[in-house]
């Protein structure tokens, strides 16, 4: 083990070990272990008192060692002017989580022995996919010019489907680190996140990441940012989160450029809930940012939206694990545990105040998330319906963008119609329900909300095809349209325009951002995008293109309901709303798939795809036929005809009263096919 020798020096900056402050005579020969009690404050460079220089057998200690020793004391209170609240925003895979890891390591918030990649991504799902799904908060302590600062970091997701998480975290901050990959440059979500930050009036610190890569072009990317976004790149920080280059400059920039919160500690308490989750032992745990006032352990608190009151049994900070404190004041970020059992009592966006000294006005909260994609979630085992409802309520607490309502189906029983922000969001929610709550689920094909104008001037919103009014009662059907912006290298412009045209896209504009990159804007139906549009975009551009979309409104389209009939009986769960031009190909694909999946019966079973009463595609399942002529080894032909006629009459009677049971596997396979062909 290395030992540390202390020698007299008047230029170094290092805390004096507590045990040696009064014994000046023994300083020259003093030895102690490699982990001394660095809890004492730093001595000032201009102080006339004794300063020390550490010399180890492994070399001179780095700035990281000093920062690490300061980071151990991160629960120490600092003045409000020394608090900095910031988040990290970027396009997916530009290095947000790696940068967050490095900041935690450099400030000593997480020890090197405890460090692992994607430290803040604590879900298995996040680690497997390599993406951030949930925003994560962490409190760090950083010493700058001999003064302690409290840095509250919020790491955010980068995928377009989780933009609601980003907007919530930005509302709790005064600044943002905009991370841009120095090799890939400005991408779709980079723009979207910048606009979110500007809407919240945040100070933006530009960070060019991955400068150590051979393909990094920081100068080109800086020019791109200035042209596309309009941000000044003269003070952009060049860094490599993986190699640890430029991390100290980032921490210094946060302290120098991010404004501190307003000093409103004397006002009545107002705290904004920006996230929460359900703990089976402690109830609802709420993450909040104190905007005004002070909150102490044991205070009686009041939730202004739900009207419920509780006692704050435990308050603390996230650093990044939960650490208890006695008090939090204006500008600080923390958590509260108050034995809240009902998930409806503490919703994201609610305002916490004191029960005895209520605030006059609640905080604005958050804009409601508007679901874009809908699908049905049904338990494979009908007995799990109540468990599914409880799981969705608890998950909604942690994922405020999730919406759901009860639904019943003749084929799959009772379940829920759920609304999501996108396809990836839908996938993640399904996987979380199956993993975290041990549920087996069936998911119907994703659909969107259609607006039906009826002949009696009523407007009906419909996300379930089986609830669509009859053709005679409706005047027109409108579907949601989105404006989609695709950023791509110029080599793939043609293939991406072809993709958009195939999906009924309407061309709006194309402009060159730089000499080699272009932005293509289309308006296309959301229903065409919820399928495999994103996968096709990536495969056709070899992974180089990115996209961002925004909802623009409803437009009238030539839409029809495609019904599937088996033995003359309509099967409601297989009905879909499709565009008239695509009805035949989808109907043909569904009937062919069902023919393979439905077991043969004792009678002939027709499988038909219909638009109203008109059959547009049909397949027939031939009957299992008994050879009634086996015993006829000779004789007159009339004998054989008589037996065949008798068999035909029996088949006819059987078909009239017989019922075809579509197996569960067939439903699941057809739903999977619907997801592909739609």
Say whether 612 counts as a known binding-site residue. Answer: no
Strand duo 147-155 + 136-144: pairing:
antiparallel
Say whether 97 counts as a known binding-site residue. Answer: yes
In order, the DSSP letters of 163-194 are HHHHHHHHTT-SEEEEEEETTT---HHHHHHH
Say whether 321 counts as a known binding-site residue. Answer: no
Give CA–CA dist 511/227, Å, rounded. 12
Say whether 157 counts as a known binding-site residue. Answer: yes
Say whether 542 counts as a known binding-site residue. Answer: no
Say whether 381 counts as a known binding-site residue. Answer: no
Say whether 334 counts as a known binding-site residue. Answer: no
**Secondary structure of 108-130 as H, E, C letters:** CCCCHHHCCCCCCCCCHHHHHHC
Q: What is the token pair recorded at 81? A: 């002017």
CA distances from 43 to 46, 49, 76, 81, 344 (A): 9, 8, 17, 21, 51
Give CA–CA dist 365/367, Å, rounded. 7
Say whether 34 counts as a known binding-site residue. Answer: no
Give CA–CA dist 481/523, Å, rounded. 7
Angle at 273 between CA 267 and CA 277, to 5 degrees: 145
Say whether 24 counts as a known binding-site residue. Answer: no
The H or E element that residue 225 is part of is helix 218-228
CA distances from 674 to 415, 476, 560 (A): 19, 24, 16
SS3 655: helix
Give CA–CA dist 256/82, Å, rounded. 10
CA torsion sign for 362, 364, 368, 369 is: negative
- My answer on whether omega of the bond before 622 falls inside 30° of 0, hence cis, is no
Cβ-proximal residues to 432 (8 Å cutoff; 6+ apart), any chain: 123, 125, 395
Say whether 159 counts as a known binding-site residue. Answer: yes
- The burial of 220, by beta-carbon neighbours within 10 Å (0-12 exposed, 13-18 middle, 19 or more buried), is given as middle
Say whether 659 counts as a known binding-site residue. Answer: no
Say whether 349 counts as a known binding-site residue. Answer: no
Say whether 212 counts as a known binding-site residue. Answer: yes
| Known binding residues | 90-97, 155-159, 209-212
| Known binding residues for GTP | 90-97, 155-159, 209-212
């Amino acid at each position: 083990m290395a030992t540390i020798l202390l020698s007299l020096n008047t230029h170094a900056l290092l805390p004096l070990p507590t045990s040696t402050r009064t014994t000046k005579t023994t300083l020259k020969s003093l030895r102690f272990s490699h982990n001394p009690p660095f809890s004492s404050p730093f001595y000032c460079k201009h102080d006339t008192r004794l300063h020390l220089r550490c010399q180890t057998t492994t070399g001179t200690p780095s700035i990281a060692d000093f920062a690490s020793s300061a980071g151990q004391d991160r629960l120490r209170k600092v003045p409000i002017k020394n608090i900095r609240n910031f988040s990290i925003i970027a396009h997916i895979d530009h290095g947000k989580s790696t940068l967050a890891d490095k900041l935690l390591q450099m400030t000593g918030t997480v020890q090197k022995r405890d460090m692992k990649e994607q430290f803040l991504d604590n879900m298995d799902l996040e680690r497997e996919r390599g993406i951030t799904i949930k925003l994560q908060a962490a409190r760090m302590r950083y010493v700058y010019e001999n003064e302690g600062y409290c840095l509250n970091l919020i790491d955010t997701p980068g995928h377009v489907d989780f933009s609601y998480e980003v907007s919530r975290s930005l509302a709790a901050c005064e600044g943002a680190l905009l991370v841009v990959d120095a090799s890939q440059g400005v991408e779709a979500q980079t723009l979207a996140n910048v606009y979110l930050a500007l809407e919240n009036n945040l100070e933006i610190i530009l960070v060019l990441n991955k400068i150590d890569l051979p393909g990094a072009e920081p100068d080109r990317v800086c020019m791109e940012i200035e042209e596309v976004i309009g941000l000044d790149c003269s003070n952009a920080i060049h860094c490599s989160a993986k190699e640890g280059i430029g991390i100290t400059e980032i921490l210094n920039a946060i302290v120098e450029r991010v404004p501190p919160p307003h000093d409103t500690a004397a006002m009545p308490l107002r705290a904004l809930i920006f996230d929460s989750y359900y703990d089976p032992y402690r109830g609802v745990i709420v993450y909040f940012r104190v905007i005004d006032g002070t909150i102490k352990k044991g205070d009686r608190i009041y939730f202004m939206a739900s009207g419920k009151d509780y006692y704050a049994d435990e308050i603390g900070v996230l650093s990044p694990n939960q650490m208890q404190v006695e008090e939090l004041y204006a500008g600080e970020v923390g958590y509260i545990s108050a034995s809240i059992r009902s998930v409806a009592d503490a919703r994201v966006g609610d305002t916490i105040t004191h029960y005895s000294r209520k605030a006059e006005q609640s905080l604005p909260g958050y804009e409601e998330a508007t679901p874009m994609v809908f699908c049905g979630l049904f338990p494979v085992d009908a007995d799990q319906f109540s468990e599914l409802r409880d799981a969705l309520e608890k998950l909604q607490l942690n994922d405020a963008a999730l919406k759901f309502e009860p639904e019943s189906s003749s084929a799959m029983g009772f379940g829920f119609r759920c609304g999501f922000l996108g396809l990836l969001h839908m996938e993640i929610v399904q996987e979380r329900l199956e993993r975290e709550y041990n549920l087996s689920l069936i998911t119907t094909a994703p659909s969107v909300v259609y607006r039906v104008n009826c002949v009696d001037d009523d407007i009906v919103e419909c996300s379930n095809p089986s609830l669509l009014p009859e053709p005679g009662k409706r005047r027109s059907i409108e579907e949601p349209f989105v404006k989609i912006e695709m950023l791509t290298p110029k080599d793939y412009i043609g293939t991406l325009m072809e993709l958009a045209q195939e999906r009924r896209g309407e061309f709006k504009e194309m402009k060159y951002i730089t000499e080699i990159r272009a932005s293509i804007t289309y308006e296309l139906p959301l229903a065409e995008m919820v399928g495999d549009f994103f996968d096709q975009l990536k495969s056709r551009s070899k992974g180089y293109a990115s996209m961002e979309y925004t909802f623009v409104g409803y437009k009238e389209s030539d839409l029809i309901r495609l019904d599937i009939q088996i033995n003359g009986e309509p099967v409601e769960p297989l009905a879909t709303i499709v565009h008239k031009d695509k009805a035949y190909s989808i109907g043909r694909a569904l009937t062919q798939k069902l023919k393979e999946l439905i077991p043969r019966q004792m009678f002939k079973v027709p499988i038909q795809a219909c638009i109203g009463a008109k059959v547009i595609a049909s397949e027939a399942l031939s009957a299992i036929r008994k050879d009634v002529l086996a015993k006829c080894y000779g004789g007159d032909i009339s004998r054989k005809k008589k037996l065949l006629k008798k068999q035909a009459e029996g088949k006819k009677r059987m078909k009239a009263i017989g019922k075809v049971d579509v197996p569960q596997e067939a439903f699941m396979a057809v739903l999977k096919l619907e997801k592909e062909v739609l």
